[in-house]
Structure formats: C-alpha cells, structure tokens
C-alpha cells in the first residue's frame, strides 16, 4: 500500500511548491526554459489544492520546504550555501532553514530532557532558556549546570521527528525505484543507493548518543588545529534524545558584516574553512559533513567554532590518496594524470579512452585557473561535469557522496566570507602536504612495515597455507612446478617481510 501513498506524497510536493508560490521563484532562479515551465505548470496546477499551505509569514520557498518535512529542509540547507546556483534572492530565503526554523514549545523540550536523563530539569540546570536556535531535526536551549554553574548548550530532538523523516524517505525511495524502472539512463547514478546512503547518514542524527560520540572524536582529532574549536561533550547530561555541550559565544558565519565589524579577517577565515575541511578529510579521514554557516561561529579570538556533529564522514586511506591525487592533478593542471587516477581507481570503465577523458577534464578545469570565484558559474561547471560523467559511463560513488556534497557546502561558506577567493590556490598547500606525507618514501616505508606486521601475525599459518597450495597443485602433473615455486616464493617473501617489518617498525 506504500506505492499509492508515495505517489500522493510526490504529487503533494509539487502541489505545495505551486500553492505557496515557490514554484515560480525556483524556476526563475534556475533559469528554466519556457517549455519546461509550461509543462510543469500544466501538470501541477490542477492539483494545487493538494499542497500544504505552510506558514504565510515565511518567504515562499522556505514556506514550502518547511511544510514538506525534515528531509526537504536538509536539501534546502545544502542549496542555501550556493548563491551561484540558485541566486542571491533564493539564498536569503533558504538560509532561514539553517537555524531559524519555528521552535517547538519549551515545555515539550523540558519534558523530553527529564524523560531522557531521568531527573527533573530543575535538578539538573539552574537556568534553562527558551530556544536559541531551531533546525530541521532538533533545537538548542541555553542552560546553566546546577552543580557547577557553567553555561552549556542543550540540544533536544523534535517530537515525532523519526516518523516524519521516515515518511519523506519512503517517498524518495519510491521516486528512486521509479527512475530505475522508467529511466534507464539514470541507473548509472544509482538513485536507490544514493537514497539509502542519505537515509543512513541522517539516521545518525536521530540518536544524539552517536552525535555526542562523533563530537568527542572530532575534538580529539582537531585538538592541535590552530584557529579551530570543538565544544566539549557533557556526557552526564547527554542521552539518546538530548545532547549537552559547552556553551561558546560567537558570531554566526553567515553574518559577514558583524564578523568584519569585530575586526576579524573574513578572507582569512574563508581560506581557513576550506583548508581545515581538506585537512580533516585527508589527514584524519574523518570530517564534519554538515559544515554550513548555521553550524559555524567565530568567537572573540577569531577561532572558528563548529557545532552539530550528527552528520560526519569517513573515507578510508586508499580513497583519501585517490582523492588527493585527483585534486593535486587539477591544481597542477595535469589532466592526463587525473584521468589515469580515475581509471586506476575503477571510477571509469576500462574500455573508455583515457586521452579523451583527459581532454574532457581539461575543459572542466581550465576555466577555473586565473579567475576569482565570483566569475565562475558553479551551476554551469556542475552541468558540464554531469555531461562528462554520463559520456564516459561513470557511476555514482556512494562512498564519496558525503565528501562531494560537503565540498560543495564548504565552497559556498568560503564564498560567502570572500567572494573573490580562489579555491584552488587555497587548497594547494594542504593537498601538497598530504601528498608528501601519504605518497612519499616515508609513506612507502610505513605501508611496507604495516604489511610486514600483518604477515608476521599470520606467520604461524604460512606452513599450513603452503601445504594446502602444494596439495592443490600436486594432482595435475604439468602444473606442480609452478605451484611449488609459488609456495616457496610466498614463504620466502613472508620471512623477508617479517624481518624487514621488524627493522622498519623501529625506524618509521
């Protein structure tokens, strides 16, 4: 029975945008051609009455998105960082989605805190304010610990958020299956996998114990990063639906005028945002996956302060090296090497032509160099990249979705702080430093030592494995010599690596 319900849900989505007046503004912002406008309006207008009315006090686009639910709000938050894609007028509306959504009553929040922590709020906190920020999944209250008098931020999940989120995801999943069935050209984008990935990521936001753990790990990883702070978790005041962090005063990253009025260098902050993200992704393999302006502040000392750790990303070491090689290839304008890395990593089918792919990548990269960010149309760049990936049969890499999405958000944040920022020049020192550490001689020695150590741990099983290999190769007479040689070489290599690993582990 979910099929009809999801069809109704998707129809209601279009009807809500039409009823609130958001459809016209979105089509204007995206510069949709007249034919597409006519088709969409002709299909949706008869069902306009089905749309949610939303809050008339809000601008049309924000009004529609908030009426539709939390998953739509998440998507709007991403677009709120990209004025080059949706236009300045639409961005001003979408930024409301970051931390200024309508709050739920404080009495409901207090009841949730008491239920989750097992004690009345007045026993835990001497002060507990009205909501100071409200987002799609939770809202934040400023409070003071009764035991110590310290100020803290208390995050509380919205009531019924799990059910509302599941409703949206069901509709998205239905839309993805429909695309797979009726639009074969979209299968390479793996829409079902994308939705599954999105669901898994956001589900982590619905258990604040996981977010508390993420905040703690992120703070440990970034403890030595100059100009960056992560508030400490108060574990004794945190549970599944409640999370408590140290309170940190600061100016929202979107308020550039206030940041400059306090004497902070907005251009330097823009560069730091980008470089910190790359450092976290490449150095640690663990990065903040929702780093929009609503989750960043600038404190009195000029430090960037990060909040909201519900969406965090991980990438393994091999993927980090591939990502870094692609970035450094673009930075150095070595498009042939960028193309080769794509083929080596299996991102492009091996039957495609590497030279043609390199030429296509050149057309993407060359317009960027020698220009400041204000002259680069990211919407056109993304459209061309889509054409390139389609032409060369590249599939969507679900393990890189969050990394790619966050890079778009980070660039948008940096652009807000410094519209003339050159993204590539700012990224270069971080990526080159990682390349030296991860792909140089020291890294090679470290990898070899690690491989030797793993072989050493399994060395007691080497005779058994060699014996099994000999038994398998002994039956067919013609092949016994290669089998015996392989087993001997395997044991010799294992012994050599054990010795080498012992030496390197003392050096590296």
State the Cα–Cα distance between residues 416 and 267, nearest whole angstrom.
10
Counting residues of the chain whose pLDDT is more than 90, the rounded percentage is 28
Is the confidence at residue 235, as pLDDT, over 90? yes
Q: Cα dist. 191→76, 149, 180 in Å?
A: 19, 50, 7
What pLDDT is stored for residue 491 in this prediction?
43
pLDDT band at 285 (very low <50, low <70, confident <90, very high): very high
What pLDDT is stored for residue 423 in this prediction?
76
Q: Tokens in use for 265?
A: 């260098």
Do 396 and 411 belong to one domain?
A: yes
Do 43 and 187 belong to one domain?
A: no
Residue 404 falls within a domain, yes or no? yes
Lowest model confidence (mean pLDDT) among 295-304, 325-334, 465-474: 465-474
Pairing of strands 304-306, 228-229: parallel
Domain boundary among 423, 439, 455: 439
Q: What residues make up the domain containing 68?
A: 2-99
The tally of domains found in the chain comes to 4
CA 153 to chain centre: 24
What pLDDT is stored for residue 259 in this prediction?
95
Do 362 and 287 belong to one domain?
A: yes
Q: Cα dist. 281→78, 189, 213, 291, 326 in Å?
A: 19, 24, 18, 13, 14
Catalytic residue among 99, 290, 308, 418: 290
Q: Check if the beta carbon of residue 233 is closer than 8 Å to that of residue 244.
A: yes
Do 464 and 482 belong to one domain?
A: yes
Q: Cα dist. 176→193, 196, 217 in Å?
A: 9, 10, 34
Residue 351 falls within a domain, yes or no? yes
Lowest model confidence (mean pLDDT) among 194-198, 334-338, 434-438: 194-198
Do 354 and 375 belong to one domain?
A: yes
Do 323 and 179 belong to one domain?
A: no
Residue 290 annotated among the catalytic residues of the structure:
yes
Do 76 and 58 belong to one domain?
A: yes
pLDDT tens-digit map of 92-146: 777 677 666 778 999 999 999 999 999 999 999 999 999 998 877 899 999 999 9
Domain boundary among 386, 420, 439: 439
Do 74 and 198 belong to one domain?
A: no
pLDDT band at 497 (very low <50, low <70, confident <90, very high): very low
Residue 89 falls within a domain, yes or no? yes
pLDDT band at 371 (very low <50, low <70, confident <90, very high): low
Is the confidence at residue 473, as pLDDT, over 80? no
Q: Max Cα separation, the chain?
A: 85
| Nearest C-alpha neighbor of 215 from the set 312, 338, 298, 340 | 312
Q: Check if the beta carbon of residue 250 is closer than 8 Å to that of residue 297.
A: yes
Do 326 and 282 belong to one domain?
A: yes
State the Cα–Cα distance between residues 481 and 488, nearest whole angstrom.
11
Do 420 and 464 belong to one domain?
A: no
């Amino acid at each position: 029975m979910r099929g009809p319900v999801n069809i109704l849900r998707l129809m209601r989505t279009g009807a809500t945008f039409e009823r609130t007046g958001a459809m016209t503004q979105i089509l204007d912002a995206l510069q949709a051609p007249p034919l597409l406008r006519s088709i969409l309006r002709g299909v949706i207008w008869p069902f306009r009455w089905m749309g949610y009315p939303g809050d008339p006090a809000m601008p049309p686009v924000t009004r529609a998105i908030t009426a539709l639910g939390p998953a739509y709000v998440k998507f709007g938050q991403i677009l709120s960082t990209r004025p080059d894609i949706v236009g300045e007028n639409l961005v001003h509306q979408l930024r409301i989605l970051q931390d200024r959504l309508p709050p739920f009553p404080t009495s409901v929040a207090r009841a949730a805190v008491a239920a989750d922590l097992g004690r009345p709020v007045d026993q835990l906190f001497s002060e507990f304010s009205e909501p100071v920020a409200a987002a799609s999944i939770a809202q934040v209250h400023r409070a003071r610990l009764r035991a110590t008098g310290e100020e803290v931020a208390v995050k509380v999940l919205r009531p019924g958020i799990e059910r509302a989120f599941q409703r949206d995801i069901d509709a998205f999943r239905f839309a993805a299956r429909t695309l797979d069935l009726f639009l074969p050209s979209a299968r390479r984008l793996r829409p079902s996998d994308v939705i599954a990935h999105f669901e898994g990521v956001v589900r982590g936001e619905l258990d604040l114990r996981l977010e508390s753990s993420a905040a703690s790990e992120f703070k440990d990883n970034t403890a030595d990063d100059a100009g960056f702070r992560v508030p400490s978790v108060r574990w004794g005041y945190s549970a599944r639906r409640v999370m408590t962090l140290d309170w940190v005063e600061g100016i929202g990253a979107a308020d550039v005028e206030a940041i400059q009025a306090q004497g902070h260098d907005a251009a330097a902050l823009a560069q730091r945002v980008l470089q910190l993200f790359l450092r976290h992704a490449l150095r640690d393999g663990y990065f903040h996956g929702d780093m929009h302006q609503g989750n960043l502040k600038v404190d009195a000392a000029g430090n960037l302060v990060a909040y909201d750790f519900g969406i965090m990303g991980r990438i393994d070491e091999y993927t980090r090296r591939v990502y870094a090689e692609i970035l450094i290839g673009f930075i150095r304008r070595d498009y042939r090497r960028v193309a080769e890395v794509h083929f080596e990593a299996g991102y492009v089918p091996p039957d495609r032509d590497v030279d043609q792919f390199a030429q296509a990548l050149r057309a993407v990269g060359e317009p960027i160099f020698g220009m400041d960010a204000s002259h680069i149309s990211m919407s056109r760049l993304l459209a061309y990249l889509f054409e390139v990936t389609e032409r060369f049969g590249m599939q969507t890499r679900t393990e890189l979705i969050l990394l790619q999405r966050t890079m778009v958000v980070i660039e948008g944040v940096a652009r807000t702080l410094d519209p003339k920022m050159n993204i590539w020049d700012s990224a270069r020192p971080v990526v080159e430093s990682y390349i030296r550490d991860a792909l140089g001689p020291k890294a090679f020695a470290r990898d070899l030592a690690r491989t030797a150590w793993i072989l050493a741990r399994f060395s007691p099983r080497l005779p058994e494995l060699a014996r099994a290999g000999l038994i398998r190769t002994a039956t067919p007479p013609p092949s016994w010599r290669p089998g015996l040689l392989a087993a001997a070489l395997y044991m010799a290599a294992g012994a050599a690596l054990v010795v080498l690993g012992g030496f390197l582990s003392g050096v590296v």
